[in-house]
Amino acid sequence: MVSKRKRPSRDDYTLTEQEKIEEGVFEKRTMMRMRKFFTRNTISKLKFIIAKGKEADVYLADHGSSVPEEYVAVKIFRLETSSFEKRTDYIYGDPRFSRIKSGIYGVVSEWCKKEYSNLKIAEAAYVHSPKPYMFSGNILAMEFIGDADGEPSPTLKSAGAGDPASALNSILEDMKKLYQRDLVHGDISEYNILMKDDVPYIIDFGQAVVTDHPKATEFLRRDVSVILSYFRKRYGIEKDAEETFVYLTS
């Protein structure tokens, strides 16, 4: 996340990001895809970056007429990144995505489509996660998790949990709901969970796989181990990993 102390004024940042778009700083195909989000009234203005990652940047945007919420989170996957080459196991083993166009653009576009599809599954399962609005190419628009002033919610890692036991139970229940819809997140951690009003919201669903994926069980066991380890080390909450795994898959 961008530090508040380092963040320039909102007006200056908005102007800078708008100038980037107008000057064509974004890759040409990204610019072409971005226009769809305006013409379909999903967003009305792209404002500034609220999160930076190895694979994508997330922008805050003002909503368009087709979205009831005031803000929209716009995730733009980088086309120049090579990190996707290390994550092909999450795509090629997924029976939903058996035909991928060659080249980095094809892989990144498929990853974006995959995250959108996974978020739709999470929404249908009533999991605490961002609602997906639309995707095109390497751009995904989804629900903004944050406050009314456009400040994004902090991660579990940075904010902690006001009620640790309740937060852990909520996360595990959401993991169980996903599994019941034949989906495994595959990268659950304190970094991929946002805390809004003491409620944990799971984010970053690009790597999530269906339970038919050959490594789905391995990924789920790893998710269980990581999240239980965090709550044990930070809050002293003890839960047996194997019992938790059995509960999630029962």
Task: Look at residue 84 in the predicted model and tell me its pLDDT.
Answer: 62
Beta-strand runs (E) in 137-220: 139-143, 183-184, 193-196, 199-202, 209-210
What's the rounded Cα separation, in Å, for the pair 102 and 50? 31
Overall average pLDDT of the 10-36 stretch? 65
10-143, which class in CATH? alpha beta
CA gap 25, 234 in Å, rounded? 42
Rounded distance, CA 105 to CA 101, Å? 8
pTM over 0.85: yes
22 vs 139, residue with greater confidence: 139
Report the alpha-carbon distance of residue 177 to residue 73 in Å, rounded. 24
Q: Say yes or no to pLDDT of 123 above 70.
A: yes
Fold (CATH) for 156-249: Transferase(Phosphotransferase); domain 1 (1.10.510)
Which pLDDT does position 29 carry in this prediction? Answer: 84
Radius of gyration for the alpha carbons in the chain, expressed in angstroms and rounded:
18
Q: Which residue has 């951690």 as its token pair?
A: 189
Mean pLDDT value across residues 132-153 = 97
Between these two residues, 96 and 126, which has the higher pLDDT value? 126
What integer pLDDT is reported at residue 18 of this predicted model?
53
Q: What is the mean pLDDT of residues 39-46?
A: 96
Residue 145 has pLDDT above 60, yes or no: yes
- For residue 15, pLDDT over 60 is answered with no
Domain ranges, ordered by start, for the chain: 10-143, 156-249
pLDDT on residue 53: 84
Query: What is the pLDDT of the chain when averaged over all its residues?
Result: 88
Task: Provide the 3-class DSSP secondary structure of residue 224.
Answer: helix
Averaged over 203-228, what is the pLDDT? 96
For residues 115 and 140, what is the distance between their CA atoms, to the nearest angstrom? 8
3-state secondary structure of 215: coil
Phi-psi region at 105: left, alpha or beta (left = phi > 0; alpha = psi -120 to 50): alpha
Residue 21 pLDDT > 60, yes or no? no
1 pLDDT tier (thresholds 50, 70, 90): very low
Residues 50-79: pLDDT tens digits? Answer: 998 888 999 999 999 999 999 999 999 987
Give the Cα separation of 72 and 81 in Å (integer). Answer: 24
Q: Give one DSSP letter per residue of 18-49, joined into a string.
A: HHHHHTT-S-HHHHHHHHHHHHTTSEEEEEEE
Contact assessment for residue 153 and residue 130, using Cβ atoms and an 8 Å cutoff: no
User: Which stretch, 25-39, 104-118, 196-210, has highest mean pLDDT?
Assistant: 196-210
Span of 9-13, 131-135, 139-143, 185-189 with lowest mean pLDDT: 9-13
> Phi/psi class of residue 243: alpha, beta or left (left: φ > 0; alpha: ψ in -120 to 50)?
alpha
Q: Given this model, what pLDDT does residue 90 score?
A: 72
Range with lowest mean pLDDT among 6-15, 106-115, 175-184: 6-15
pLDDT at 16 over 60: no
Percent of the chain predicted with pLDDT > 70: 82
| Maximum separation of any 2 CA atoms in the chain, in Å | 55
Q: Which helix (H) or strand (E) holds 58?
A: strand 56-63
Are residues 33 and 10 in contact, defined by beta-carbon separation less than 8 angstroms?
no
Residues marked as catalytic: 187, 204
